[in-house]
Structure 1
Amino acid sequence: MKKLFLFAALILLNVYQSRSQSKTLFNGKDLKGWHIDVPEMDKNPNARNPFLVRNGLLVSLGEPGGHLITDAKYDNFRWTFQYRFAGKPGNCGALVFVSKPRDLYEMFPKSIEVQMMHENAGDFWCIQEDITVPDMEKRRGPKEKWGVNGDKLRRVPNLTDGTEKPLGEWNSMVIECVKNSIKVWLNGVMVNYGYDATAQTGQLALQSEGSEVEFKEIKITPIKALSK
């Protein structure tokens, strides 16, 4: 009984310490702590920067395509943020375990994407990294077609649709990465879970991928991974 009580107390202590160590990744004023990787800006000096701060919000304009990447790397964390499509609903994504830039199609960094595309929020996309989920063949398709690049089956659909808020309302996303597992909640509902990922540390990134998206309350909280 004492061992059980002690274990429960340690868990509560870890939760308290994690909350007290929560860090804001966006200050509402500038993009300090992030850097921009937009291939079009390399080729065209007149190309616009698709990432900006507007009225205290971080905005991804959607075009040209690219990524806003944290300078720092993270492992064992809970990444939380609010997002909404500013106009027409469309596509965007949040990437974890980001490493080599422009590793797929000379655009996407090596990573695992948590999809925010309208009506598909919570899907995983494998970008030169891989992950396993329950009911893998049912959800991902024939095993022989799985892969992390090219025309392979890189998408792992979420567990449940219908969790997104109506257009114009704020959605709450939580992405929890502990060792090489990823759990995703959207508006309080767990929408995906994966394990045995081929990475467990890296940078974070937000996409510019076709649609204008606004972000706020972007925070990261460290998680102390319990040893098995």
Structure 2
Amino acid sequence: MVKQWWAALIAASSVLAGGEWQNCFNGKNLNGWTVKVTGFETGQNPGNLFRVENGLLTVSYSDFPNNSFKDEFGHIFINRPFTNYHFKCEYRFLGDQFPGGPKWAHTNSGVMLSGQAPETMEKEQKFPTSLEFQFLAQNESGTRTTGSICTPGTYVDVNGKTIKQHVIKSRGTALPAGEWVQAEAIFKNGKVSHIINGKTVIEYSNPKFDDGTPLTYGWISLQAESHPIQFRNIQIKELD
């Protein structure tokens, strides 16, 4: 079934502009962004989960209303959709994971590419239908990668082969928590590249919704998955 919010994407595409690098975050407040947290209505920001600290867009559960994590996955969306684009940001993990957070979510976050609009998400929905550019920090095993793709409600082609598994690992070695990492994503005409610190770590193409509908544009959001993280230098350049 084609997503109901597809019509909203088509309508919004008429206001898109292209050309130069645009700053998505002003370093002072969350103007231009919309929050959606699992279990809460669109626009609610429980416990000031997404906040600005020292000029950085910060995910913090320090003031969260619950004492432990109960699937309150959060996403903060840029307020309009994009078609072909080059997105970039820097991220770093810090502090301790919120109690109750799943083991896999330790130093785990990401940016959701070309996803559904926040107002179309159901109240209890955990993740927007999208292409996740996954961010991880290294653990004791030393085997973690960063820059992989996760596919909530979607699938893609890799090296000409359709892949429907949820996580497709990248070639990017994760760095220790606390270190700043530059992440870039290029989405153009059905081809997508994930770039970590200047190195392309995975490429894929022909993204589709689970029902087979081509995914050609959508909203971009940053994640909260129970571990504190900060973002800076959040920019986008439209390519069409």
TM-score bucket of the superposed structures, by smaller chain: 0.7 to 0.9
- State the one-letter code of the partner of 1:65: F
Residue identity matched to 1:132: D
Gaps of 5+ in 2: 1-17, 62-68, 97-105, 138-143, 209-214
> Partners of 2:45 and 2:21 in 1: how far apart?
38
Correspondence for 2:167 among 155, 174, 177? 155
Residues 51 and 59 of structure 1 are in contact (CA less than 8 Å); yes or no, is this contact kept in structure 2?
A: yes
3-state SS, counterpart of residue 48 of structure 1: helix
- Verify the 8 A CA contact 2:172 2:196 in the aligned structure 1: no
- Tell me what 1:79 maps to: 87
- Residue 129 (structure 2) aligns with: 110
The alpha-carbon deviation at position 54 of structure 1 amounts to: 0.4
- Are 1:35 and 2:34 counterparts? yes
Size of the alignment, in residue pairs?
Answer: 189
**TM-score (normalizing by structure 2):** 0.71
- Bigger shift: residues 23-32 or 91-100: 91-100
| Residue number in structure 2 paired with 1:173 | 183
| Number of the residue aligned with 1:192 | 202
Point out where structure 1 has 5 or more consecutive residues left out of the alignment.
1-17, 141-145, 147-152
SS of the counterpart of 2:182?
strand
Corresponding residue of 2:223: 207
Q: Does the 8 Å contact 1:92/1:115 carry over to 2? A: yes
The amino acid that maps onto 1:25 is C
Quick one: distance in 2 between partners of 1:206 and 1:82? 11
Q: Secondary structure at the match of 2:40?
A: helix
Correspondence for 2:65: none
Q: Are the equivalent residues in 1 in contact too, given 2:38–2:123 (CA < 8 A)?
A: no
Residues 39 and 124 in structure 2, CA contact (< 8 A), matched pair in contact too = no
Q: Does structure 2 retain, via aligned residues, the 8 Å contact 1:104–1:128? A: no
Counterparts of 1:183 and 1:211, CA distance in 2: 25
Task: Report the CA distance between 1:39 and its aligned residue.
Answer: 2.5
Measure the CA separation in 1 of the matches of 2:95 and 2:22. Answer: 29
Aligned-partner SS, 2:25: coil
How far does the alpha carbon of each residue in 1:39-86 deviate from its partner, in whole angstroms, 9 at most, with x for none?
Answer: 3334xx994131000000001226632110111100111001010002
> Contact 1:103–1:128 at 8 Å: present in 2 too?
no
Counterparts of 1:184 and 1:121 in 2: how far apart (Å)? 10
Is the Cα contact below 8 Å between 2:38 and 2:126 reproduced in 1?
yes
**Alignment identity in percent?**
24
The structure with the greater share of residues assigned to helix is 1
TM-score (norm 1): 0.75
SS at 1:127 equivalent: coil
2:136 alignment partner, SS class: coil
State the distance in 2 between where 1:79 and 1:220 align. 4
Q: Deviations over 1:8-64 (max 9, x none)?
A: xxxxxxxxxx7x61100000001111100013334xx99413100000000122663
> Greater Rg, structure 1 or structure 2?
1
- More strand as a share of residues: 2
1:133 corresponds in structure 2 to 158
Task: Give the Cα–Cα distance (whole angstroms) in 1 for the partners of residues 124 and 48 of structure 2.
Answer: 20
Residue identity matched to 1:196? N
